Amino acid sequence: MDNLRLKISNIDRVGLVLDISRILAARKINIISMEVELNTIYMEFQALSLATKQSLYDELFSIPQITNVTEINLMPHQEHAEQLNAVLTSVSDGIVSIDLERRITQYNFAAEKIIRLPASDVLGHKFDDIFPADSPLITTLTRGIPYNNREIVLEKTKSHYLSSGRPIRDRNSRIIGAVTVIKDISAVRELVYTVTGQRQMTFDEILFTSLAMHKVIALAKSIACGESTVLIRGETGTGKELIARALHAASIRHNKIFVPLNCAAIPDALLESELFGYEDGAFTGAVKGGKHGLFEFASGGTIFLDEIGEIPSHLQAKLLRVLQEGKVRRIGSTREIPVNIRILAATNRNLEKMVASGSFREDLYYRLNVIPLFIPPLRERRDDIPLLAQTFIERCSARLHKDITAIDQNALNKLINYPWPGNIRELENVIERAANIVAGTTIYGEHIIFDQDYTLPPVANPIYNRTLDEIITEVEHDVLSRAVKKYTSSRQLGAALGLSHTAILKKLRKHKLLPEQKN
């Protein structure tokens, strides 16, 4: 039977507890635990028979200062412990607390999963026997200094987590222990990706009707579920990153992180630390505590290395080791960290020529080129232009709050016959340019303006007998003279040339090109 626990309400006086104890002693009832609050005494003893319990109540009520005796399920300290245990069990973060003797006093279920040690092997043991001796929690205990998000690797269990610590103080602000909240590093990565990650792109969202793209997408779908490295080749603006995102979305890693990195967008001096991370104090300006790189951040998911042909030669060997061994070594570290990632790479460079010239490692080339995927340029898939153009029109119309519903056949012919050196990205720009210019619901041929339309004819003898201001004025006058013939209002003209309405009016007045109807 469960123990008997009583809540004895009373009017406090000296000797009250003694009188109650005498009654219990006379009945040979042993007190297991007792707690005293103002006007309330809690007592726990072994279970009693119904008759003994009733006679005990009668005798307790014979004490004048006792106002009520009720049976309770738990003692206050037991109830508090149950509530604390429920809280510690429900949270997803690991919680570990220690006392002044560095003994581990709290160690919740989440901590068991992160640290990979059962509570029976941890509770009551010295903190230093389980965790690294240089753990920042010891400093928190001895000096009362809190800390946040310190990265810790527990070698014995291969657990990797972030730790934040706070001192535990009594009501007099004396330190009586310390507590740390730990987050598994993989959970942190997923949280970051959930907050900052872009919406996944699927194969169904890639627009095409051409046979060339049908073949590319069919091949991409067939290799998506694998783990092999894919090298996506194609000119700038063909949609290599969209293909990479679709490959990730169709893979077994679709619920994990997708990390894109443009290798050409980061200076060589920073690229190594971004990819591989660094240890505390590895170089001047390094973040205290070190930093994990994108390979570690992407572990479990996919990393997309765009412009892989721009990676400097001294990093090519380190990247090769990641591909061969699945391990990374931070700058300033001797420890290799295993990573489980799928690498997708892309380039518009001719890697074969780079290998022949010695600017790209041959062994890295073959490691990357396990599955080559070639994306055709837009000029080789002209059948896709009408579909792409209509889609871009709808997007621009919604974004610019216009009601553009159609594109004229003459305008469409101009798009189809253009060579598109900038591929799909250039097509989107041209459509957005037209959407800004058009005043009605249909885009016509005159609204289609290619980049080359803004290219000015060479100026003969530009440096002879004229100042730079005179040359600029002449060119500006020539551009405006031709432009006013194409646009029916100064607002349209300003939008086409990227100038405000006020600015274009000033220039038209300056060059005396402002007829009455342009106001």
What the chain holds in terms of domains, given with CATH numbers, is: 4-76 (3.30.70.260), 91-184 (3.30.450.20), 197-374 (3.40.50.300), 378-454 (1.10.8.60), 468-518 (no CATH)
Q: Which of 401, 411, 396, 485 is nearest to 442 (CA)?
A: 411
Which tokens in the block code for residue 47?
A: 């279970």
Residues 378 and 427 sit within 8 Å (Cβ to Cβ): yes
Residues 487 and 436 sit within 8 Å (Cβ to Cβ): no
Phi, psi of 340 (to 5 degrees): -115, 90
Distance between CA atoms of residues 334 and 428, nearest Å:
48
- Which residues are registered as beta bridge partners of 9? 40, 68
Would the CA dihedral through 233, 239, 244, 247 be positive or negative?
A: negative
pLDDT of 430: 94
Annotate 198-223 with b (16+ C-beta within 10 A) or e (fewer). Answer: eeebebeebebebebbeebbeebeeb
Q: Is 294 exposed, middle or buried, given 0-12, 13-18 or 19+ CB atoms closer than 10 A?
A: buried
Render 193-243 in DSSP notation, one character per residue. Answer: HHHHPPPPP-GGGS---SHHHHHHHHHHHHHHTS-S-EEEE--TTS-HHHH
3-state secondary structure of 265: coil
Instruction: Answer yes or no: pTM beyond 0.85.
Output: no
Q: Is 246 exposed, middle or buried, given 0-12, 13-18 or 19+ CB atoms closer than 10 A?
A: buried
3-state secondary structure of 165: strand
Distance between CA atoms of residues 258 and 244, nearest Å:
9
CA dihedral 506, 508, 510, 513 (to 10 degrees): -160
Distance between CA atoms of residues 503 and 509, nearest Å:
10
Q: Which of 216, 236, 217 is nearest to 426 (CA)?
A: 236
pLDDT of 188: 78
Distance between CA atoms of residues 504 and 496, nearest Å:
10
Q: What angle do CA 235, 240, 225 make, to 5 degrees?
A: 140
- The whole-angstrom distance between residue 259's C-alpha and the CA centroid of its chain comes to 9
Token pair 């591909």 in the structure block, residue: 323
Tens digits of residue pLDDT in 360-399:
999 999 999 999 999 999 999 999 999 999 999 999 999 9
Radius of gyration of the chain (CA): 37
3-state secondary structure of 148: strand
3-state secondary structure of 159: strand
Render 49-108 in DSSP notation, one character per residue. Answer: -HHHHHHHHHHHHTSTTEEEEEE-SS-HHHHHHHHHHHHHHH-SSEEEEEETT-BEEEE-
Render 171-193 in DSSP notation, one character per residue. Answer: TT--EEEEEEEEEEHHHHHHHHH
Residues 96 and 179 sit within 8 Å (Cβ to Cβ): yes
Which tokens in the block code for residue 491?
A: 């607002």
CA distance between the termini of the chain: 97
Q: Which of 213, 248, 202, 256 is nearest to 373 (CA)?
A: 213
Residue 236 contacts by C-beta under 8 Å, 6 or more apart in sequence? 348, 422, 423, 425
Distance between CA atoms of residues 437 and 429, nearest Å:
12
Q: Which of 315, 198, 326, 215 is nearest to 268 (CA)?
A: 315
Q: Which of 297, 263, 306 is nearest to 277 (CA)?
A: 297
3-state secondary structure of 413: helix
pLDDT of 68: 95
Give every residue of the chain whose pLDDT is below 50, as ranges.
459, 517-519
Residues 244 and 234 sit within 8 Å (Cβ to Cβ): no
pLDDT of 255: 85
